[in-house]
Amino acid sequence: MRRPFSSLHTTGGPAMTATTDERVKSVSGFRRAMIRPELGAICGTILVFVFFVLIAGDTGMFAAQGVMNWTLVSAQFAIIAVGACLLMIAGEFDLSVGSMIGFAGTVIAIVSVQWGWPVWIAIVCAFAVALAIGALNGWLVIRTGLPSFIVTLAFLYILRGLTIWLSILTTRQTIIGGVGEAAQGDWLAWLFGGKIFGSLFVWLADANLIATYDRGARSGQPIIDGIPMLIVWAIGLMIFAHVLLTRTRFGNWIYAAGGDAQAARYVGVPVDRVKILMFMFTAFCATVFATCQVMEFGSAAADRGLLKEFEAIICVVIGGALLTGGYGSVVGAALGALIFGVVQQGLFFAGAESSLFRVFLGTILILAVIMNTFIRRMITGER
């Protein structure tokens, strides 16, 4: 693809590499390592951990069970934050995530309990419907040119309304139970509701590294009986999204679609396809969340997922992403989710008033965003 004459010029390579520009200040390795999009989230994470070690260090928050508790909550936030993160970098929002969680859960319950179909088919149905709605969201945004804020706000209401209506229509109530029994022994249900590494924890308990139950039917068993698949999903999705975003061509196009859609189109990036796929990925993440939750509770409820869309966006913004798109990182969003989970559960451990959670969160949000804006300006030369 290169023109033949380019070889003429590159032969002078080694000698040329020595040239330096007197106007370029040499930048220390430390500074380069520090100035990164996730810096605000890294500082926030350290701050939050120091804070809770000080005020709740002796409450069991950092014992095995406590760690599992806030890890699980953080993983829940992480699953939806990963989707919101890629979508926000691609320059769009999805406010229908919370309603999607309620909707997907209800689809699983209706198909498996009301219709009596196998749970794995119910889960596949939920994913298919969610991906279709995600694609519809994206298609509408692209086609109408309306802000995704408005289009997905409409779906926030439409999906929530449909969820309640469908639930009452089929069962006369807004909570559909019985999924737990139906899911017994179902291979796909296990992928969302199961646990892995159980034997590792038995071994740890035998070695007296973690506590065991000392009473009741499960006496002698470790108090943690495995890693919930929810956490595996969170880690898997984070790794997938991180590699996709930073290492692949498609990732480059995600940044470009959000950074400047027109400039990206001019160089041949299929911006519409990228955006629609990101809406679908967000819907996928919401459905993973919904399925794990349905399997955990053994039921679906029409009010599940309330306000999740905002929590996802907060995680992503704490993580250093730019609200207008084109900038951000999955690592940052994951740290945002960790901060969110630790603060929520930490205040509970510390016995603080639960309303303080919101005060604390709001404060962290402001601090992180101020710091992120400052860092971003240093990196990108924005003025």
Partner 1 sequence: MSLIEMRDIQKHFGAVIALGGVSFDVQAGECHCLLGDNGAGKSTFIKTMSGVHKPSAGTMLVEGKEVVFQSPRDAMEAGIATVYQDLAMIPLMSVTRNFWMGREPVRKFGPLKLIDFETANRVTMEEMRRMGINLREPEQAVGTLSGGERQTVAIARAVHFGAKVLILDEPTSALGVRQTSNVLATIDRVRKQGIGVVFITHNVRHAMAVGNRFTVLNRGKTLGTAARGEISAEDLQDLMAGGQEMAELEGSLGGTV
Beta carbon nearer to partner 1, 1 or 307: 1
In the complex, least distance from residue 28 CB atom to partner 1, rounded to whole angstroms: 13
Q: Find out whether 316 and 21 touch, Cβ atoms under 8 Å.
A: no
* Alpha-carbon gap, residue 89 to 79, rounded angstroms: 16
Contact with partner 1 (CB under 8 A): which of 146, 239, 323, 379? 379
Q: Rounded to a whole number, what is the largest CA-CA distance in the chain?
A: 81
Q: What angle do CA 187, 192, 195 make, to 5 degrees?
A: 85
Name the residue among 184, 168, 192 with its Cα closest to residue 112: 184
Q: Decide if residue 29 touches partner 1 (CB under 8 A).
A: no
Q: Which of 294, 331 has the CB closer to partner 1? A: 331
- Listed ranges 98-106, 107-115, 243-251, 283-291: which one lies at the site for partner 1 (CB under 8 A): 243-251
The verdict on 260 binding partner 1 (CB under 8 A) reads: yes
**Contact pattern for partner 1 over residues 300 through 339, marking x by CB under 8 A:** ----------------------x---xx------------
Q: What is the DSSP letter of 173?
A: S
In the chain, where does DSSP find H-type helix?
Answer: 6-10, 13-17, 29-34, 39-56, 64-89, 97-109, 119-144, 148-171, 179-182, 187-193, 198-206, 229-247, 249-259, 261-266, 271-297, 308-318, 330-349, 355-380
Does residue 249 belong to the site contacting partner 1 (CB under 8 A)? yes
Out of 50, 200, 209, 247, the only residue in the binding site for partner 1 (CB under 8 A) is 247
CB 318 within 8 A of CB 366: no
Give the separation between CA 369 and CA 349, rounded to whole angstroms: 27
Question: Binding string, 86-125, against partner 1, x = CB under 8 A?
Answer: ----------------------------------------
CB 170 within 8 A of CB 114: yes
Choose, by CB under 8 A, the member of 172, 216, 266, 354 that binds partner 1.
266
- With CB under 8 A as the contact rule, which of the stretches 174-182, 207-215, 250-258, 347-355 interacts with partner 1? 250-258
Determine if 380 is a binding residue for partner 1 (CB under 8 A): yes
Report d(CA 292, CA 79) in Å as an integer. Answer: 11
The tokens describing 214, both together, are 């000392």
Residue from 5, 185, 351, 354 touching partner 1 (CB under 8 A): that is 5
Does 264 participate in binding partner 1 (rule CB under 8 A)?
yes
Q: Among 158-166, 205-213, 248-256, 349-357, which window interacts with partner 1 (CB under 8 A)?
A: 248-256
11 binds partner 1 (CB under 8 A): no
Minimal distance in Å, beta carbon 271 to partner 1? 11
Characterize the bridge pairing of strands 300-301 and 175-176.
Answer: antiparallel
Three-state SS at 134? helix
Residue (173 or 380) nearer to partner 1, CB: 380
- The least CB distance from residue 134 to partner 1, in Å, is 24
- Determine if 373 is a binding residue for partner 1 (CB under 8 A): no
The position carrying tokens 């498996």 is 112
Write out the residues near partner 1 by the rule CB under 8 A.
1-3, 5-6, 9-10, 13, 16, 19-21, 24, 27, 243, 247-249, 251-253, 255-256, 259-260, 262-269, 322, 326-327, 379-382
